Structure 1
């Protein structure tokens, strides 16, 4: 079990890896993965995403 993901961290937060997955403001960006690197007082996330350029690649 991981604090902040499965169990509450020391500030009582959970599901920290889910934040940012449902962003839909830009149709050219698709979120692939959100990984929590640290969840002490501040939260450090690594977000992997796909970006579609104007020419389609």
Structure 2
């Protein structure tokens, strides 16, 4: 373990900051995925497992 004097701050602080960065990353990834799914549904994708186009008839 690195002594506190070398780092210049307490290890618990580093853990808290790392946790916040990780949590923010997960939230951002979830929001991006959610937006992609929402946009795909609005564009008619995912309907019957494929993109719905005007050239194909879906029964």
TM-score by length of 2: 0.28
Q: Between the two structures, name the one with larger relative contact order (CA 8 Å, sep ≥ 6).
A: 1
Q: Name the structure with the higher helix share.
A: 2
Larger radius of gyration: 2
Q: Name the structure with the higher strand share.
A: 1
